[in-house]
A and B are shown apart, each in its own frame.
Chain A
Amino acid sequence: MSTLELLALQPPGWGGNLLRGLANSIQIAVGAYGLGLAIGTAGAYGKIYGGPVLRDLLEVYTTVVRAVPELILILILYFGLTDLVNQILVEMGRDRIQISGVIAGIAVLGVVQGAYSTEVLRGAILAVPHGQIEAARAMGMPAGMLARRITLPLMLGNAIPGLANLWLIATKDTALLAVVGFSELTLETRQAAGTTKAYFTFFMAAGAIYLAITLLSQWGFARAERWARRGEPAVAAGAR
């Protein structure tokens, strides 16, 4: 059997396994990125408008998460979170549950992503011109509407380059879940490569898939940034 036939989608080939791994990877990356954005938005608002205690606690969260290797955070949270949920369930008199790999992966990577996106979004919100927010307050806009109509749309242009980086990190960090035995693309690849001994074929195929995701995302985010910056005067970009 030639090496390229090993990549065929039907069973003697391993292509189907790789695609299943890819689906798992993307599912986790999307979920973790969304969770991270939610945590990041709340964290950024907390860091800017929160009280001194909340601000210090958020500072501890972002500093610790960004200084400890993701792999170790994943292990601590992976074992810790499932243990915690089960202990709470037992206290409440329910049975223990088995938390699925997808949910645990999303929760764990989401907490890590949240720390990074807190910083990205905080910088972007601070870059929104003060006058805009003051004008909205002077018009009597409630805080929620102000965030939805003024702050978040205006900060999007500044935030998108940082958020694009975070998305690329999210897709690549799903590979770390291979270490805790979750069958995403990288682990499926290693199993296929180990069984067939065609290491170069499979690792390069997986690399090509990851690279395609990266290049596609870069193109998409560039379009999104152009869309988010629509209506901004061209001078603002050129004047730097």
Chain B
Amino acid sequence: MIAFLRPRHRQVLLVAGAALVAWCIHALDWSWLPAYWPLFLRGIWATVWLTALTTVLGLVLAIPLGFAQAAGPWFLAWPALAFCTIIRGTPLLLQIWLIYYGLGSLFPQFPWIRQSDLWPILRQAWPYAVLALTLSYAGYEGEVMRGAFKSVPRGQLEAARAMGMPRLTLFRRIWLPQALRKVLPTLSGETVLQMKATPLVATITVVETYAVASRVRQDTFIVYEPLLLLAVVYLAIAAVIVLVFRHFERMVPTRTA
């Protein structure tokens, strides 16, 4: 920290940055903030749980998708490859709208869905948001996991087989843990990307941080202040994600030359 601050130009830049922040607080209009603060907190919470839930679910889906491509027979590898290509080749906004408007217009046509106990949940927007974000993360991470499974040294797998390890134990104890360790640094960046994708679900009426900010804009006609607050909130969440993953990476024993 002290080494970071030692150069004279950094101190000047920091003072200039602080002055800019002070000017923003002083000169811009923040009178709306107390009234909307509780709503903002709810929005931030929605962003956090959407990111966390879809990351975990997406990773769970990505492991079989990657493994099928790395070591599976062709009738599993090809569909997995096609899924990853389609997800990575089309905009997420289009996928979200396809799932929300498409499935949302399809489901009510079946009486047995409308009468089921799940209907009150399916009538809301968030299940479609979770589904779209999960599939998207799975598509991108399936590709990453494919590389990770392939990069586990053959000697490790052969040694396990030579010890007479059953195939499932081999996967659980040797193949998967080593692949997961390899992708941890990549996952950190990908999870930040996933967090950055969450504001898109505001377009299908899910109330998260971005939706709250646009409501402030509509109610009060104040444009910049909510957007600036949004940028700061997302910067902070991104920093937290990077720190959490750095903690996980530290838990992995590494040997550096």
**Chain A interface residues (CB < 8 Å from chain B):** 52-53, 56-57, 64, 67-73, 75-76, 79-80, 168, 172-176, 178-179, 186, 189-190, 193-194, 197, 199-200, 203-204, 206-207, 210-211, 214-215
Contacts and interface: CB of A to CB of B under 8 A. Distances in A.
Contact of B90 (A68, A193, A194, A210): A210
Interface stretch (B21-29, B230-238, B245-253): B230-238
Given A52-B7, A72-B199, A190-B97, A64 B210 contact: no
B76 interface: no
Which 3 A-B pairs rank lowest in CB-CB distance, beginning with the nearest?
Answer: A175-B91, A214-B89, A203-B98
Interface of B: 7, 9-10, 13, 85-86, 88-95, 97-98, 101-102, 105-106, 192, 195-200, 203, 210, 223-224, 227-228, 230-231, 234-235, 238-239
Contact of B235 (A56, A64, A71, A199): A64
A207 B7 CA distance: 51
A71 B91 contact: no
Nearest to A207: B90
17 contacts: A57-B13, A69-B197, A69-B210, A70-B196, A76-B231, A173-B91, A174-B91, A175-B91, A175-B92, A176-B200, A189-B97, A194-B101, A203-B102, A204-B98, A206-B90, A214-B89, A215-B89
Contact of A67 (B97, B224, B234): B234
A186 B231 contact: no
Contacts of B230: 72
A197 B228 CA distance: 37
Nearest to A174: B91
A71 B102 contact: no
A175 B196 contact: no
A216 to B, nearest CB: 10
A186 B93 contact: yes
Contacts of A76: 224, 227-228, 231
A71 B210 contact: yes
Interface of B is mostly: helix
Given A179-B203, A203-B102, A211 B90 contact: yes
A170 to B, nearest CB: 11
Given A69-B195, A71-B199, A173-B91, 20 more contacts: A52-B9, A57-B13, A67-B196, A67-B234, A69-B199, A72-B234, A168-B89, A178-B93, A179-B93, A193-B97, A197-B105, A199-B98, A199-B101, A200-B106, A203-B98, A203-B101, A204-B98, A210-B90, A211-B89, A214-B90
A42 to B, nearest CB: 20
A21 B43 CA distance: 33
Given A69-B196, A193-B101, A200-B102, A210 B91 contact: yes
B101 A172 contact: no
Contact of A172 (B92, B198, B228, B239): B92
A64 B200 CA distance: 19
Contacts of B92: 172, 175
Contacts of B89: 168, 210-211, 214-215
A175 B97 CA distance: 11
A67 B235 contact: yes
A72 B146 CA distance: 32
Most buried by A among B10, B86, B98, B203: B98
A29 B198 CA distance: 22
B234 A79 contact: no
B10 A56 contact: yes
Contacts of A53: 9, 13
Nearest to A79: B223
Nearest to B236: A67
